[in-house]
Homo-oligomer: A and B are copies of this chain.
């Protein structure tokens, strides 16, 4: 957790927290509040008996840790995939409204379908879909935009490939012209 800032936004004041790539936001079993992803991306992992397994990917607008309102603690580990900003969800305590919950529920189901699609098809398309997903959710409808790429390890976990295969896929995407390298682990993407 790097910084906290108070931003006036519309009529209400919001508190947000920025996280850097690789940071742990929370771990399963610990206590805390539910968060909304303002920007960036977060991976949720189920820490199974043996090791930690990728469970799903939260992007801008998604709510993470909602189960804490029910169980009092988190069910998953949350780690930053690309630098992100979080804000508290449902600041005013008490019984959350049905409407907000229904929207969150619909979003989670959509997110599930997206995550599953990242594990179908060949390596090149999985990685392409992942990168487009990260960009489009962050900055929709811009012809060319910048992105902070996740680590190969994260992309490999998400797509169920190896880091080597992801690296090769990204090389191909660069040759294709989808990605242009822009410094260390940053790229610009052609979305047109």
Contact = CB atoms under 8 A, between A and B. Distances in A.
Contacts of A98: 95-98, 101
A105 B55 contact: no
Interface in A156-183: 160
Contacts of A39: none
B67 A116 contact: no
Nearest to A46: B113
Given A95-B98, A105-B108, A108-B108, A76 B113 contact: yes
Contacts of A56: 109, 112-113, 116
A168 to B, nearest CB: 20
Contact of A102 (B101, B103, B119, B160): B101
A128 to B, nearest CB: 15
A116 B117 CA distance: 10
Contacts of A108: 105, 108-109, 112
A15 to B, nearest CB: 23
Contacts of A96: 98, 101-102
A115 interface: yes
A71 to B, nearest CB: 7
A53 interface: yes
Given A75-B109, A110-B75, A69 B120 contact: no
